[in-house]
Amino acid sequence: MIEPIRHPLSLRFASAIERWLRERGLELVPIDPDKWIRQAKRLSGLDDLGLDAQGEEGLQALAQAARASTELSLVGRMALQQQVVRALSTRLRRRALEAADPARFQAPLNRPLIVVGLPRSGTTALHRLLAQVEDAHALPFWQLRNPYAPTHGPDRRRAELLRDLKRIKRLAPELDRKHFLDADEPEECLMLFDETFVSLTFWVLMPVWGHLDWLLRQDTAEAYRVYRRHLQHFQHAVPEHRLVLKAPAHTPFLGELLDAVPEACIVQTHRDPVAVCLSVNSLFYTMHSVTSQQVDVPRMAARNLDMLAELSQRNMAARDRLPPGRVFDVQYDELCRDPLGTVQAIHDAFGLPLSQASQARLRAHTQARPKNRFGSHPTSAEELGLDPDQIRARFAGYIDQYLSAG
Element of type H or E holding 317: helix 297-320
**Average pLDDT score over residue span 235-251:** 97
Contacts with 11 (C-beta within 8 Å, 6 or more apart), sequence order: 74, 75, 171
Maximum mean pLDDT: which of 28-32, 83-87, 173-177:
83-87
**Average pLDDT score over residue span 295-315:** 96
Q: What pLDDT digit, counting tens, does each position of 309-331 carry?
A: 999 999 999 999 999 999 999 99
pLDDT of 406 strictly over 50: no
Amino acid letter at 14? A
Mean residue pLDDT of the chain comes to 92
Distance in angstroms (rounded) separating the CA atoms of residues 46 and 36: 14
In three state form, how does the secondary structure of 319-352 look? HHCCCCCCEEEEEHHHHHHCHHHHHHHHHHHHCC
pLDDT of 405 strictly over 70: no
The more confident residue out of 69 and 14 is 69
Q: For residue 254, which of 331, 306, 320 has the smallest C-alpha distance?
A: 320
Q: How would residue 372 be classed by pLDDT, with cut points 50, 70 and 90?
A: low
Element of type H or E holding 143: helix 141-145
Find the angle CA(302)-CA(305)-CA(308) to the nearest 5 degrees. 150
**Average pLDDT score over residue span 122-140:** 96
**Average pLDDT score over residue span 287-309:** 94
pTM for this prediction: 0.93
Distance in angstroms (rounded) separating the CA atoms of residues 7 and 317: 43
The pLDDT assigned to 4 comes to 66
Residue-range domains of the chain with CATH: 9-403 (3.40.50.300)
The more confident residue out of 217 and 11 is 217
pLDDT of 374 strictly over 90: no
